[in-house]
Structure 1
Amino acid sequence: MPYPAIYYLASIYYPVLAAVGIPVNVAAIVILSRGKCGLSKGITRYLLGMAAADFLVVVIVITLKKINDLYLYARFLHLTRVCSLLVVFRYASMDCSVWFTVAFTYDRYIAICCQNLQKKYCNERVATVVLVIVAAVSCVRCIPFYFVVEPYVIIDNVPWRCAPIPEYYTEPLWRAIELFDSIFTPILPISLIILFNGLTGKHILVANRVRRGLRGNSENQKDSELENRRKSIILLFTISTNFILLWLPYVIHSMNWQRVNQNYTDQQLNTPIFIFQQCGMMLQFLSICTNTCIYGLTQRKFRDELKSGLKFLFTLNGLLCK
């Protein structure tokens, strides 16, 4: 049976995504770690965590799983024990990428809407603690997925590849774990992001209206406080909206899990629901490459740092220009 068109699209899409995702996330990590983007240390720490998590997703999910299955065929990655670990790391890295975004959104909500908590919560130390806790919880939560798979084939007493255990699709416990996973990532995160952004946007509109009233509605006098709020909210809303839009198809498919069995056979690879699932996954993974573009579009100092870095690389620190 010939492969569906979505397979050939994926065979081009994922290598391109890795080729773009690895350098852009490395660039974001390097630039943000320098601390010269005009952002607070707390915000920088969250953005660094998001970039690092996205980098791990590119390496673990896109490169070691998708591209290896399509082109590389690294045999040791197909050992059942290695494959099982990759399943856990895949879920954990995606969890971190998603929940770091939620943590960043909540931090901005506290900073803008809860001034009495801002100094206690919105700092580098708390950001570090939050990121470590989120990462630890994500790893522990994903441990059960190690036991979801079994050897697909045993050759010379060596188990190879991973296949879902039969109980995964029938046992109430596994179905409950899968349902919880669908809610935990990404339905709950998206709901929280929408909630915090809604509260933050409402607070900013009210605060700006009051501030303009106190300043006498002067149009000619520039307000640095309003300008700082505007820049902060543009970064927050752009990252959040990008995340929601790219994850939305995957969320819709996840909500349909309990009714439709995802263990597709060869005869089902051309069905609309399988194609929708694959397109949703492609958009979902695209979100790991877009944050750096968002930083560049919304943060002038980030663009300046990126230009300086590119100039350093392509001119060998100015040697080629002499």
Structure 2
Amino acid sequence: IREMDWDSFVEMQKAYYIVLCTTGIPANLFAAFVILTRPCHLSKTTTIYLVALACSDTLSLVWAGTFNLSQLFLDADDFWGSSSGCCLAIVLEYGTVLSSVWIIVAFTVERYLVLFQERASRCFAQPRVARGAVAGLISLSYLASVMACLLSEHRRSSFPPGEANVTERLCSLFSNTSFVSLLWIHTFVCGLVPYLLLIAFNALIVYQLHLRSRIHPPPGESAAAALCRTQLRLQRTARLLLTISLTAVALGLPRFLVYSAGLAGPGTAPPLAMLAEICTMLEALNSAINFCLFCLASTAFRQECTALV
């Protein structure tokens, strides 16, 4: 990639993160306000999970804007390349991203139990359980981010005299070769497991919806009426869940795969570096569009937003 092309890409990144933060942060806060204060016909546990997700996504956008814009505009590599800056970046990045992803996982599992497992739903579909799950997942996410900081490698090395006077700063979780087994266990549990759970439970939900669509009508009711009633009841609840969780997989999984495959980090070729940046931008986009997803999937939420505006 020519230098001019890379400079154009950097300028595009500046505009992208500015627009993302200035629109995504207010939209997430507005979504949380509407869900909390307006009758959106959501259960108490759904309200807890969605408000927690909106707040977590807001923190993720604040962090993404601070980190990326400071690097793009202020050339803050000296700070982020230092040992303390490296640790802070990893803790905040992993903490915010993992919190959002695991909240979506908990929401998906809880909705599956409520929709299709009546006995289990009596235990899990309670506000206190939802609040405890959110608090526990956020705490574990930041604990995992601290472990990622301890596993990461931070190094400074200068080129020999007579060559360009450049100091290379390395701050990367995937560059550590001292604890390879522990590193991959941590990566698998924190990065791959939530996406696998989302894919698995969404597949189960779609399968159960397909089975319920073939339900036999009760006596005195036509098959068409029974089918319509069942589909409306289930799809109204599942539409929002499927929209949020599948979007999280589509926008978040590529970055995990790129970084796990070693296609990003210090010293990578410009095309791969650009690919890694695009995946990071997609992951940040997921934190900004939940308001649009709510409007798309929930008629009641959309009507309440229109009434407020």
TM-score range, shorter chain: 0.7 to 0.9
Structure 1's unaligned 5+ residue stretches are 154-161, 311-322
Single out whichever of 18-27 and 84-93 deviates more from structure 2.
84-93
Deviation at 1:2, TM superposition (A): 3.1
- Pairwise CA distance, 1:150: 4.7
Equivalent position of 2:163 in the other structure:
none
Aligned residues: 295
Once the 2 structures are TM-superposed, how far is the Cα of residue 130 of structure 1 from its aligned partner? 0.5
Q: Cα deviations across residues 180-199 of structure 1 (Å, max 9, x unaligned)?
A: 34323432111111111122
Q: How does 1:40-79 map to 2 (within 5 A)?
A: 40-60=43-63, 62-72=64-74
Are 1:231 and 2:231 matched, yes or no? Answer: no
Is 2:108 the partner of 1:109? no
1:201-255, CA deviations, whole angstroms, 9 ceiling, x for partnerless residues? 2222223322446665443578555312111121121112211221242233134
Write the distance in 1 (CA, Å) between the matches of 2:87 and 2:115. 43
Q: Tell me: CA distance 1:248–1:41, structure 2 relative to 1, closer, same or farther (3 Å).
A: same
Q: Which one of 213, 216, 221 corresponds to residue 208 of structure 1?
A: 213
Task: Check whether the contact 2:108–2:241 (CA below 8 A) recurs between aligned residues.
Answer: yes
Tell me the distance in 1 between the aligned counterparts of 2:46 and 2:201. 16
**Is 1:183 aligned with 2:183?**
no
Aligned position for 1:2: 3
Equivalent-residue separation in structure 2 for 1:216 and 1:307 (angstroms): 37
Partner of 2:255: 250
Asked if the contact 2:86–2:154 (Cα under 8 Å) also holds between the matched residues in 1, the reply is no
Aligned residue for 2:291? 292
Residues 48-197 of structure 1: pairs in structure 2 closer than 5 A:
48-60=51-63, 62-72=64-74, 80-81=83-84, 84-147=87-150, 148=152, 150=154, 163-164=169-170, 169-173=175-179, 175-197=180-202
SS at match of 1:164: strand
Q: TM-score, normalised by structure 2?
A: 0.83
In the alignment, the residues of structure 1 paired with residue 153 and residue 37 of structure 2 have an alpha-carbon distance, to the nearest angstrom, of 42
Q: Is the 8 A contact 1:102 1:192 kept in 2?
A: yes
Residue pair 2:216, 2:226 contacting (<8 A) in 1 also: no
Unpaired segments ≥5 residues, structure 2: 158-167
What is residue 23 of structure 1 aligned with on the other side? 26
Say which SS state the counterpart of residue 54 (structure 1) adopts: helix
TM-score normalized by structure 1?
A: 0.80
| Cα distance in 2, alignment partners of residues 32 and 167 from structure 1 | 37
CA RMSD of aligned residues (A): 3.0
Secondary structure at the aligned position of 1:235 is classed as: helix
Separation of aligned partners in 2, 1:118 and 1:256: 39
Counting aligned pairs with the same residue, the percent is 22
